[in-house]
Amino acid sequence: MALNNETIKTRLIEKFGDQVSNFDEPYGLLTFEAPKEMNLKVMQFLFDDEQLRFQFLTDLTAVHYPDKKDRELAVVYHLHNLVDNIRIRFKVFTDINKPDIYTATQLYSSANWMERETFDFFGVNFVGHPNLKRILNVDEMNYFPMLKQYPLEDQTRVDKDDAMFGR
C-alpha cells in the first residue's frame, strides 16, 4: 500500500489521539502540530514506524507570531520519508517567555546546526543540545534579530544607494 497523507494522519491519530491536531494540507504537504512536550515522542514514532519511516530531517526553523498569546514561537520541522518520497511539516508552539523545546539531535544529527541557527535568530532554547551557542551572529549579541519586535529597515534612508542592492 502506497504511503499518503491520509495514512500518515491515521497512524498519528491511532498512536497519539487528540494530542496531534490542526491537520492541514497546504499545497499537498501534510502539516500538523502537537504540544511541545511531545516533540520527541512524535518524531521518534515517525522515525521508527515501519510504515512511516520519516528518517531525514530536511529543515528546522522557527516562526514568530507576536499576536498569539502563549504560542508566540513555533518550531517547525520538515521531515522526509526517502523511501516513499513524502514530506511532512510538524509544528510545536511555545511561549516566548519560556522557549524551551527538547533537542532532536539524538534522533537527527542534522538538527545540530539547524537548532543552533534557530537559537541564534529566534532565541529558542533546545534543552539537551550538546553545544547550543550562536552560530552566525556574534556571541556578544544580546537579542534575537528574527523576532518581529524589531522594525523593518527604514525605507526613507538616504545614506545608501539602492542601486547597489539591485533595487
- Looking at residue 58, the DSSP 8-state letter turns out to be E
pLDDT at position 2 is 82
Q: Are 104 and 116 in contact (CB under 8 A)?
A: no
- Give one word for 10, left, alpha or beta, with left for phi > 0 and alpha for psi -120 to 50: alpha
Q: Length of the chain, please?
A: 167
Indicate the domain borders of the chain. 5-152
CB atoms within 10 A of CB 8: 22
Angle separating helix axes 39-48 and 5-16, nearest 10 degrees: 130
Torsion angle in degrees (nearest 10) through CA of 81, 86, 87, 88? -100
Strands (E), the chain: 21-24, 30-33, 56-64, 73-81, 86-94, 100-102, 125-127
The pLDDT tens digits along the chain (167 residues) read 689 999 999 999 999 999 999 999 999 999 999 999 999 999 999 999 999 999 999 999 999 999 999 999 999 999 999 999 999 999 999 999 999 999 999 999 999 999 999 999 999 999 999 999 999 999 999 999 999 887 666 667 677 666 766 66
Q: What is the pLDDT of residues 120-149, one digit of tens each?
A: 999 999 999 999 999 999 999 999 999 988
Adjacency order of strands within the sheet including 56-64: 21-24, 30-33, 86-94, 73-81, 56-64
Among the four given CATH numbers 3.30.460.80, 3.40.1580.10, 3.40.50.300, 3.90.380.10, the one describing domain 5-152: 3.30.460.80
119: its cell numbers = 537559537
